[in-house]
Amino acid sequence: MAEVLHREFVYIWYYFTIQLRQIFPYWVLGMVIGSLVSVFAKERIHHMFCSLGERKLGVLGIIAASGLGIASPLCMYGTIPIAASFSKNGMKDDWLAAFMMSSILLNPQLIIYSAALGMTALMIRILSSFVCGIGAGMLVKKGKRL
């Protein structure tokens, strides 16, 4: 029994180290770029989203909010308080939904990690996150009309 457990442990350790070596550069690059965005671009993204509320963009606002959500360095736990502050400042609910959905699904760190899977997987992840953000905004917009 001990021999079987030892063999399985060696097998798991071997594949773990292979995967770690393959993903490690992307992991470090994701942390560096995510940190740079968080330190140098977070305020700009926040300002851009707040300035959206001053314009009459309609559906284009949902598209822009989804794009800003992807550019946002926030994770799920950081997105909720920011969205709450946007809501208090009068941001439209459909734009908030688009921003929150995109921000939760994808951020700059995850873009870098996804690049490790190849260009096709990266493009699918970016497009699907963008479309899901737009879809969330459109559903909220449609729900408000009912």
In-domain check, residue 128: yes
In-domain check, residue 9: no
Q: What is the pLDDT of residue 109?
A: 77
Q: What is the pLDDT of residue 119?
A: 92
In-domain check, residue 3: no
In-domain check, residue 139: yes
In-domain check, residue 13: no
Q: What is the pLDDT of residue 146?
A: 64
Q: Looking at the predicted structure, is the pLDDT value of residue 134 above 80?
A: yes
Structure-model confidence comparison of residues 75 and 61, the more confident one = 61
Residue 103 neighbours by CB under 8 Å, 6+ apart:
69, 70, 72, 74, 79
In-domain check, residue 100: yes
Residues of the domain holding 135: 25-145
Please name which of 101, 86, 111, 110 lies closest in space to residue 138, comparing C-alpha atoms.
101
In-domain check, residue 84: yes
Tally the domains of the chain. 1
In-domain check, residue 120: yes
Q: What is the pLDDT of residue 129?
A: 94
- pLDDT band of 53, cuts 50, 70, 90: low
If one counts every other C-beta atom within 10 angstroms of the C-beta of residue 137, the result is: 28
Q: What is the pLDDT of residues 81-130, one digit of tens each?
A: 888 878 887 888 898 999 999 988 987 778 888 888 889 999 999 999 99
Rounded to two decimals, the pTM is: 0.69
Q: How far, in Å, CA of 27 to CA of 73, rounded?
A: 15
Helices and strands (H and E) in the chain: how many:
7, 0
* C-alpha separations of 55 from 4, 51, 58, 144 in Å: 66, 7, 9, 19
The greatest distance separating any two alpha carbons of the chain, rounded to the nearest whole angstrom, comes to 70
